[in-house]
Amino acid sequence: EVQLVESGGGLSKPGGSLRLSCAASGFTLSTYSMNWVRQAPGKGLEWVSSISSSSSYIYYADSVKGRFTISRDNAKNSLYLQMNSLRAEDTALYYCTRGGLGDPWGQGTLVSVSS
């Protein structure tokens, strides 16, 4: 079964850092691009970042550029999102998704930024 499991969320103060992880199973991670998408409480979906299969191409939303870093370790079947200089508006449920078509999605990990 293809599965994505996010972890690493939690509570951070403004200006703090968190590192999210996404563990992939049931497929060969190295053959797919991967994405992070977030959803603020009660709001819609917002694309955050994407990384190509070999990490050659990386893209960020303007709202996180310069603060977040996406990376992957294909040998460990894992995707990461390093989140620095966190702001209150980064509070959201963060999902990892597979490929250009966004299928499937993990269950999400909650990030809360508050003083």
x/- binding map, residues 37-76, to another protein, per CB under 8 A? -------xxxx--x--------xxxx--------------
Give the number of residues in contact with another protein, rule: CB under 8 A.
20
Task: Please state the φ and ψ torsions of residue 89, each to the nearest 5 degrees.
Answer: -75, -5
Binding track over 5-44 against another protein, x by CB under 8 A: ------------------------------x--------x
Burial 43-73 (b: 16+ CB within 10 A, else e): eeeeebbbbebeeeeeebeeebeeebbbebe
Report whether the peptide linkage leading into residue 41 is cis, meaning its omega lies within 30 degrees of zero: no
Contact set with another protein (CB under 8 A) = 35, 44-47, 50, 59-62, 95, 100-108
